[in-house]
Amino acid sequence: MHLPVERREVRLTCLLVSQVDTRWAEILGTVDPVVLGTRVRSARVTKGLTQGDLAGETYSVGYVSRIETGARRPTLRAITVLGERLGVSVGELLEGASEEEVDEIRLGLSYAELALENGEAVDAEHQARQALERAEGTSVPDLKTRGRFVVARAMEAMGQLDGAILELESLFAEASGLDMIKCGIALSRCYREAGDLNLAIDVGERVRPAILDSGLERTDEAVQLAMTVALAYIERGDLHRANRICAEAIELAEEMASPTARSAAYWNASIVYSERGETQAALTLASRALALLGEGQDTRNLAYLRLELGRLQLELDAPDVPRAIDQVTRAADELRGSSGSRAQIAHTQVVLAHALVMDGRPDEALEIAVAARRANPADASLGAAEAAIAHGEALAELDRRDEAIEVCREAADILAALADADRWVAQAWCELAELFEFLGEVVAAHTAIKAAARASGLRVRSRERRRVDSPAQAG
């Protein structure tokens, strides 16, 4: 049986009104009564009405007075009637802004997010702060949360990690649901980029109970958070724990049949296999991840995958240098056009410089390595050391020995100044040792190898100490 057109339109109108009323009722239950009362009073004074005029015959003057002082939360019907008498919409009273203004704020945040994805971090931060300033005057919490999140991501992209972490920690403490998970992903990533691997891992431990309690473990965001934390375990050298996380995430992602979740799981699992020396298995997983992510629109993650795939192709027993150069070049272009940070772009340049040296193109490698050094911060960082090593390698291939030795010593000074030592620092020392040896600097190479041992956690005892500890001396 089909309803007449008129009756269907009436039913649809009633349904829409019911949905709008439900939304206003939810906001009314959360808005601060004092703030709401101030808005009612301001609108009344602007209209030139007394409390008696506003009350009319429907409400008492005392009721209106209690609403204006915040001593009474009105019903939805009451605020609707009062809004009609004041010539102000319910949305403007409850949200502190007209629906048109709220839409404008949302549009401003969308523009800021687009600028961020296009690599225009400074413009993104400016637009997000403008929208956030307008949102602060409303009672729409999702606008404020979204604005603060975009500001934090823009700060991360500009390399302002301390500021981004402070903002994300504050958001993380207040957020819930998917917003909490997204915030956790960014926060863990920032801690990892700042070199604090323990805190990067701790973020995952903090958010996991909430994910399970809210039933969000089967979401793309939950899988991405797990993989972000797995990266921190990898950098800390705990490959067994990272492997378990990756295996669980892949199993879950396969069940979800989500390209985003599956690509994240494959990608990070490939890194684990790579660190274990199983390059072919790592390459297979990275290729799967790249194929899946290519179906989506996440430019930055696609660039990361291309970079990982190119790096793995260089580490094969028979390196596929042309394909590696193609992947890494595309990764660099995509990062420049997305929200990739300067440090991330510089790391891509370092890998590309190594690939160009392997391809017999040291002149091009030198130019790119110098650009990577300029892009890294002036203070000591692993990225700055890796860029210096790539610079030295290109100079060595060009037979500019003295310059190469000088640059390698600069790299050694940077590595020696690093406050934290881990397996990545140890790897950099090993690469530097090999380069020193190639340049005929045997003593410097020996020193670098010892530094690599210390960075990896090995204890190097002096000959005198070994004599004291030996059984013959003890007897």
10-residue stretch averages of pLDDT, the chain, 475 residues long: 40 40 73 80 83 88 89 87 83 68 79 81 90 76 85 91 93 89 93 89 90 86 87 83 81 77 81 81 82 65 79 85 92 78 85 95 95 76 91 96 96 87 85 95 95 79 50 43
**Residue 270, both tokens:** 């490939």
> What residue type is 425 in one-letter code?
V
Determine the 3-state secondary structure of 298 from DSSP: coil
**pLDDT at residue 379, rounded to an integer:** 63
Dist CA 285 CA 465 (whole Å) = 47
**pLDDT at residue 94, rounded to an integer:** 73
**pLDDT at residue 148, rounded to an integer:** 92
**pLDDT at residue 438, rounded to an integer:** 95
Dist CA 174 CA 271 (whole Å) = 33
Dist CA 376 CA 383 (whole Å) = 7
Dist CA 238 CA 241 (whole Å) = 6
Say if 214 falls within a structural domain: yes
Say if 321 falls within a structural domain: no
Dist CA 197 CA 55 (whole Å) = 61
**pLDDT at residue 470, rounded to an integer:** 44
Please count the other Cβ atoms lying within 10 Å of the Cβ belonging to residue 460: 10
Does 90 lie in the same domain as 175?
no
DSSP letter for each residue of 10-64: HHHHHHHHHHHHHHHHHHHHHS-HHHHHHHHHHHHHHHT--HHHHHTTTS-HHHH
- CB–CB of 407/391 below 8 Å? yes
Say if 237 falls within a structural domain: yes
Dist CA 227 CA 378 (whole Å) = 30
Does 256 lie in the same domain as 172?
yes
**Residue 454, both tokens:** 């210390």
Dist CA 206 CA 364 (whole Å) = 46
Does 178 lie in the same domain as 73?
no
**Residue 303, both tokens:** 């660039």
Say if 151 falls within a structural domain: no
Dist CA 449 CA 36 (whole Å) = 68
Determine the 3-state secondary structure of 203 from DSSP: helix
> What residue type is 289 in one-letter code?
A
Does 274 lie in the same domain as 387?
no
**pLDDT at residue 10, rounded to an integer:** 39
Say if 220 falls within a structural domain: yes
Determine the 3-state secondary structure of 365 from DSSP: helix
Report CA dihedral (300, 303, 309, 310) to the nearest 10 degrees: -150
Question: Domain limits at 246?
Answer: 168-296
Question: Alpha-carbon Rg of the chain, whole angstroms?
Answer: 30
Residue 371: CA atoms inside 13 Å, Cβ hemisphere, count?
18
Dist CA 190 CA 157 (whole Å) = 10
The CATH number covering residue 41 comes to: 1.10.260.40
In 257-320, which residue ranges form alpha helices assigned H by DSSP? Answer: 259-275, 279-293, 299-315
Say if 107 falls within a structural domain: no
Does 272 lie in the same domain as 182?
yes
Q: Is-above-0.75 flag for pTM?
A: no
The CATH number covering residue 177 comes to: 1.25.40.10
Dist CA 362 CA 396 (whole Å) = 9
Does 62 lie in the same domain as 172?
no
Say if 190 falls within a structural domain: yes
Does 175 lie in the same domain as 90?
no
Does 377 lie in the same domain as 284?
no
70: left (phi over 0), alpha (psi -120 to 50) or beta: left
In 294-441, which residue ranges form alpha helices assigned H by DSSP? Answer: 299-315, 321-336, 342-358, 362-375, 382-397, 401-417, 423-438
Dist CA 255 CA 265 (whole Å) = 12
Say if 104 falls within a structural domain: no
Give a three-class secondary structure readout of 135-149.
Answer: HCCCCCHHHHHHHHH
- CB–CB of 313/324 below 8 Å? yes
Domain boundary pick from 236, 269, 296: 296
The CATH number covering residue 398 comes to: 1.25.40
Determine the 3-state secondary structure of 218 from DSSP: coil
Domain boundary pick from 42, 73, 96: 96
**pLDDT at residue 464, rounded to an integer:** 54
Specify the number of domains making up the chain. 3
Domain boundary pick from 233, 265, 296: 296
Residue 348: CA atoms inside 13 Å, Cβ hemisphere, count?
26
